[in-house]
Structures are given as structure tokens and as C-alpha cells.
Amino acid sequence: MPPKFNENCISCFKCVEICPGDIPRESENGPVVAYPDECWHCGACMMDCPTKAIRLDLPVWMRPVAKRIK
């Protein structure tokens, strides 16, 4: 699942700068997901968001791995 932006987004575009896959892109209405199928689910956008406006739903096959990392 690609990143999802909520109402806390202030359009600072840090997610655009930090994403290694160039998934989010700048637009007039804030960041948008340009290439949803290319997302690596690395969480870099989520970690650098100053307002915690990004949610990243991991695919089902990655969830057991994420639980072990925590």
C-alpha cells in the first residue's frame, strides 16, 4: 500500500525530498503519490514527517517482519 497523507499535512514536502524511490511528488494541493506500485515501504517518509501526517499500511506479507523489528 502506498503512503497516505491525512489532514495534518502542512505541505512541507520533506517526504518528497527524503523518499529513495521518488514516490511522493509535489502538487498544488500538497504531496501526492505518483507511483504507488513502486513504494518500497521503507518508512522514510513517515519518520521524517514533522506533523505525523503520513500513514503507511504494510502489505500483509511484510507485517510479521515489521512486528519482529519493533
Provide the CATH number for the domain around residue 58. 3.30.70.20
pLDDT per residue rounded down to tens, the chain (70 residues): 788 999 999 999 999 999 999 999 999 999 999 988 888 888 899 999 999 999 987 777 666 655 555 5
Q: 39 lies in which domain range?
A: 4-69
Given this model, what pLDDT does residue 67 score? 56
- In degrees and rounded to multiples of 5, residue 4 shows phi and psi of -125, 135
- Cell 497516505 sits at which residue? 4
d(C-alpha 70, C-alpha 67), whole Å: 6
Cell of 51: 506533523
Query: How many domains does the chain divide into?
Result: 1
Given this model, what pLDDT does residue 7 score? 93
Cell of 39: 513504494
Given this model, what pLDDT does residue 15 score? 94
Given this model, what pLDDT does residue 10 score? 95
Given this model, what pLDDT does residue 58 score? 74
